[in-house]
Structure 1
Amino acid sequence: MIEINLIPDVKQEMIKAQKMRNTAISLSIFAAIAAGAIVVLLALLVVAQSVHEGYSRDQIKQQFAKLQGTENIDNALTIQRQLKEITRLHDNKSIDSRLLDVIGAINPTAPNDMKYSSVKLDPTAKTVTIEGMASNGYAATETFRKLILNTKVESTTDDETQSVALTDQVVISQTSYGEGSDGARVLRFTISFTYPDGLFDNTLSNVRIVTPNSKVDVTDSRTRVPDSLFIEKAKDAKEAN
């Protein structure tokens, strides 16, 4: 069987052009629909945002009006600020009572024990200055100095123990012989050292003073210094006739 294509080339070109036109129209329609959907979504977002902003403004106005209607609101806000300030002050408060335990722990045993006439704490310079006397003379002050240098400050946080030196330098000055209240010859001295951060504030917790001879828990000032540790200043020694 023999088939003869009776459609001329011009007709075929026209059909091909119509197909391309239909395809282009279809794509244009789809693109227009997609663009329209995007425009609708954007419009919905704008409307939703406007509604949300309006709702938020209304809530703010309602809450503000409620606060304004609260009796003594100014006093309540003032108390709240004071409570925050109390917390801050508590965190930064100085625990000076620990000083009593420190000076008790670092006092050497007899015969090199010390009698204190004055103890000063300077939180700004972080120094402790002790004026005292020793019946065993310069041997006692040297023992005192070495004991302070070998004393550690331990603290425990979350079952982890940390240890730092009480100080790395001890200065002894104003040494001279004098006469104690009992008439005995004593060496008068002034000794000072710089203490580590946290010893006298809330930075460190569960604090212990560890010397080569003892360990003193100072967290709650459990140890109290005996009155015998303090004494009046020694007088100038009388010259022998």
Structure 2
Amino acid sequence: MIELNLLPDVKRDFVRAQRTRRQVIAAMILLSMAAGGLVVALALYVYGGQFAIGQVLDGAIKDKSKQLANVKDLDDYLTIQNQLRALPALHSDKFVYARLFDFLPTLNPAPPNNIHITRLTASEEEGTVTIVGYARDYKAVTVFENTIKNAELSYTDNESGEQKTESFVKDIAMSEVNLSEDASGNRVVAFTASLTNGEGSYKRGISNVRLQVPNRDTTQSAQQVPQEVFSEGGQE
């Protein structure tokens, strides 16, 4: 049997190209449809799924809120918890007035100019320490006042490691200085001394605290009289 090819080569190539073109177009259409379906699926997830998840979470939050609202004395527990959280900060800002009992023996002059304390108060709001007491005479009261004025405090700042030296008090105000009697009926001089705290006198966060007082006569009369007046061997 003899077969004759009646289509020339050019016609055959053209038909083949048309077939390939149709296949490519069909494949592109399928890919476009798949991409469109993917976009639709993503849109449904973003706008639908997320909304549904949000609704579920909102419902869970409302349920938990209702459960918390039904807890007895919840407000009291929360108040106590907040107060406990605030305690460390309050503790760090609180002054260490117990340190004053270490300072008093150093601040009290040696006999016969020593003083006796009858009342001692500290005000953290005003930053003052008030000493009510008495001494044997006016000179002893003056010696005590000047001892405090000239006292120096040295300490180490724990945060910076810096060694500092400063005046023990910023100021001292003497009041109600007058003659009185002690419990034995002896004549004494009563006084009230109000001390304005120095920067580091009672603060926390310091170590190696040391209080120093001058080892000399600090009365006003002794400081104002020229030394040569009382020196031995002076010329007339």
CA RMSD between the two structures: 4.0
Partner AA of 2:158 in structure 1: T
Structure 2 residue ranges without an equivalent (≥5) = 1-31, 215-236
Which residue of structure 2 lines up, in the alignment, with residue 192 of structure 1?
194
Higher helix share: 2
Distance 1:194 1:114 in 2: 19
Pairwise CA distance, 1:133:
0.7
Q: Secondary structure at the match of 2:121?
A: strand
Once the two structures are superposed, the pairs formed by residues 59-138 of structure 1 within 5 Å of their partners are 59-69=57-67, 73-89=71-87, 91-92=89-90, 97-135=98-136, 137-138=137-138
Partner AA of 1:58 in structure 2: V
Deviating above 6 A after TM superposition, structure 1's stretches of 4 or more consecutive aligned residues are: none
What's the TM-score, normalizing by structure 2? Answer: 0.55
Once the two structures are superposed, the pairs formed by residues 161-176 of structure 1 within 5 Å of their partners are 161=162, 163=164, 164-176=166-178
User: Per the alignment, do residues 77 and 148 of structure 1 end up closer, same or farther by CA in structure 2, a change over 3 Å counting?
Assistant: same
Q: Deviations over 1:143-200 (max 9, x none)?
A: 3223323242746434725645432211112212223233433221111121246866
User: Per the alignment, do residues 78 and 110 of structure 1 end up closer, same or farther by CA in structure 2, a change over 3 Å counting?
Assistant: same
Larger of the two Rg values belongs to structure: 2
Which residue of structure 1 lines up, in the alignment, with residue 158 of structure 2?
157
More relative contact order, 1 or 2 (CA 8 Å, 6+ apart):
1
Distance 1:107 1:183 in 2: 23
Question: What percentage of residue pairs aligned between the two structures are identical?
Answer: 20
Partner AA of 2:182 in structure 1: G
Pairwise CA distance, 1:115:
0.4
Distance 1:54 1:140 in 2: 86
Number of equivalences? 174
Q: Secondary structure at the match of 1:168?
A: strand
Distance 1:120 1:111 in 2: 25
User: Per the alignment, do residues 56 and 147 of structure 1 end up closer, same or farther by CA in structure 2, a change over 3 Å counting?
Assistant: farther
Once the two structures are superposed, the pairs formed by residues 38-49 of structure 1 within 5 Å of their partners are 44=42, 48=46
Pairwise CA distance, 1:65:
1.5
Partner AA of 1:117 in structure 2: T
What's the TM-score, normalizing by structure 1? Answer: 0.54
Which residue of structure 2 lines up, in the alignment, with residue 23 of structure 1?
none
Partner AA of 1:173 in structure 2: S
Structure 1 residue ranges without an equivalent (≥5) = 1-32, 215-241
Distance 1:108 1:56 in 2: 77
Q: State whether structure 2 residue 182 is matched by structure 1 residue 180.
A: yes
